[in-house]
Structure 1
């Protein structure tokens, strides 16, 4: 979704990674789980922590901190798994994304969202739909479909 298509108020789930606030479109979130045992899988990318059993389905769990070049997510009482749907060539893939904590669901209008800056962040900006401002703090709005390349998703879903 480009900035031009974000013409109406959108709800976002906010969460933290390394004390920074990120957001993902609520429409892409299936559920939020407490941290559970994650089964390690051999020979997968470093950012893939393993898989969980979600009501009989195998769901890959991704450490967004590692994906973004940060330190591995530490397990705390607030650590959770955000189960999201990611589009891979027209097919929806269900993934679990580790987050330090989930904050809240917020609404943002297009006027509150600016294009992602091209410099000044430790994150590659192609992952970002934009930067929003909520309660005097910047929120990095992720384009969850662009966080992972097709090859990475194929490796994870395979």
Structure 2
């Protein structure tokens, strides 16, 4: 039996994803986002969260999924990776669950239209449900991090 991982479950285009709780700072309701010129379309802009300016990425756009308008359930998940705080816009953030790390398999080449490099793995929750685990390092890869750091300056 592997170690237990606490994971925040969120939805994006009818798929369920997970991010380890220790990488998540906070989950916020949608708020005004200030657009920043000359950034990729999936970088929606920045928010001011309790005095801290945080870049916001639309995960649908990042993964090349169909864009939709924010709804009442939309959330911004604030994650931390390599001293960088970033907000991810997701369709909804549902709950926190425990997953046995042994239940996480290597991802196939493409899951739900998303290339495997963005995925850490796929966890089988039960017979019906799979949870796609994000690889934050790749979602926030070096070239984009450089752009995001320039936003914060």
Question: Could you say whether these structures have the same fold, taking a TM-score greater than 0.5 normalized by the shorter chain as the test?
Answer: yes
CA distance in 2, matches of 1:102, 1:121: 18
Q: Deviations over 1:85-113 (max 9, x none)?
A: 022xxxx1000000000011111112321
TM-score with structure 1 length normalisation? 0.89
The equivalent of 2:130 in structure 1 is: 138
Query: What SS does the aligned partner of 2:28 have?
Result: strand
Q: Deviations over 1:22-76 (max 9, x none)?
A: 1101100000000000111111111100110011111000000000001224210
TM-score with structure 2 length normalisation? 0.92
Pair 1:34-2:29 in alignment: yes
How many equivalent residue pairs? 149
Q: Which residues of 2 match residues 16-35 of structure 1 at below 5 A? A: 16-35=11-30
The question of whether the paired residues in 2 share the 8 Å contact of 1:63 and 1:73 is answered with no
Query: What SS does the aligned partner of 2:18 have?
Result: strand
CA distance in 1, matches of 2:28, 2:7: 17
Query: What SS does the aligned partner of 2:109 have?
Result: coil
The verdict on how the C-alpha distance between 1:56 and 1:83 changes in structure 2, with shifts beyond 3 A counting, is: same
- CA shift for structure 1 position 127: 1.3
The equivalent of 1:4 in structure 2 is: none
The equivalent of 2:144 in structure 1 is: 152
Aligned-residue CA RMSD (Å): 1.5
Segments of structure 2 that go 5 or more residues without pairing to the other structure are: none
